[in-house]
Each structure stands twice: as structure tokens, then as C-alpha cells.
Amino acid sequence: MNDNDLVKLAFDAKEKSYSPYSQFQVGAALLAKNGDVYTGCNIESASYSPTNCAERTAFFKAVSEGVTDFAVIAVVGGQKGAEVGLCYPCGVCRQVMAEFCDSDFKIIMADAKGEKHVCTLDDILPYRFGPSDLQGGHS
Ligand code: THU
């Protein structure tokens, strides 16, 4: 599973987006260290706050199946009908990444033209609070 394969799966997942309120469609494909891939889309709610982002859908699917070690996530998103530009994970999703992922966890943002921005968890959420903080120290 290379980066382009994962981006393709994220685009496929975006097609499943349930986003009647924002019309903003997001897809994610999460590669676990065991080689399995979990996809997710954003799922909105008429009462708005239960909305779940595509990235968290993918993480929660994996964790609920007993998989908790992750290597890479690809994220794509954009307004329905418009060309997809780079879509960065929201702060809540970054915090979920911090729960399960190491500093070098790779995050791929891709657009419709095939351009990619690749970064790590350390890049997008430095100085984060995480599991080790509850064990008495920041690592
Ligand atoms: N959204 C995601 O799925 N992932 C993100 O990282 C950013 C935002 C979704 C949530 C909501 O359904 C829509 O995009 C607009 O915020």
C-alpha cells in the first residue's frame, strides 16, 4: 500500500460522505502498522454537534476492531461539486491521532490534481497533551 493507493481509497471514502448540512465531503484512509486499511467519511447530524469527521470515523472503526497501531493516514476533502483542494485535519482529529500515534505518524493531504502535502503528527500538533502526560511526564 503506497501513498497514492491510500489517497485513492480516501477519495473513494469521500463518496460515502454524509454531509447534507455543510456539503463539505471528506474521506480518509488509515493504514495500520499490520497492513490493514480503515476508511472513513464525515457523518453529520441535524443537531450538528454529533458530527464525526472522516479521520475519526476511520480511527474509531480500527480501534473498535482491536487495531491501535497506525502508520499513515490520507485525507481528502472539499465542497461538493467543487475541485478538491488540500484539506487538513481539524484539531479534534489531531488530538485523536495523538492518542494512538507516534511523532512520526504520516499525514497525507491530497488534492484533485494529485498534489500532496505530507507531514507528521509532530508537525501538525507540536507540544501536545497525550497519554504519557497522564503517566507523570511529557515524552
Ligand atoms: N471535516 C472532516 O471530516 N474532517 C476534518 O478534518 C475537517 C472537517 C468535516 C466535518 C463536517 O462534516 C464538515 O467537514 C465541515 O466542517
pTM: 0.96
CA of residue 53 to ligand 1 center, whole Å: 5
Task: Please give the pLDDT value at position 85.
Answer: 93
Query: Rounded mean pLDDT of 84-109?
Result: 97
Q: Active-site positions?
A: 55
Verify whether ligand 1 is closer than 6 Å to residue 103 (CB atom).
no
Q: Average model confidence (pLDDT) for the chain?
A: 96
**Identity at 118, one-letter amino acid code:** V
Return the residue whose CA atom lies nearest to atom 2 of ligand 1: 53
CB-based contacts of 13: which residues, under 8 Å, 6+ apart? 27, 28, 29, 39, 40, 41, 54, 58
Verify whether ligand 1 is closer than 6 Å to residue 17 (CB atom).
no
Verify whether ligand 1 is closer than 6 Å to residue 90 (CB atom).
yes
Query: Rounded mean pLDDT of 28-47?
Result: 98
Q: Given pLDDT bands bounded at 50, 70 and 90, which one contains residue 127?
A: very high
Asked if pLDDT for residue 138 goes beyond 90, the answer is no
The grid cell for 72 is 499513515
Verify whether ligand 1 is closer than 6 Å to residue 18 (CB atom).
no
Return the residue whose CA atom lies nearest to atom 4 of ligand 1: 53
**Cα–Cα distance between 94 and 82 in angstroms, integer?**
25
Query: Rounded mean pLDDT of 64-72?
Result: 98
Asked if pLDDT for residue 139 goes beyond 70, the answer is no
What backbone phi and psi angles, to 5 degrees, belong to 54?
-60, -40
Asked if pLDDT for residue 137 goes beyond 70, the answer is no
Locate the ligand 1 atom nearest the alpha carbon of residue 43 and give its number: 12
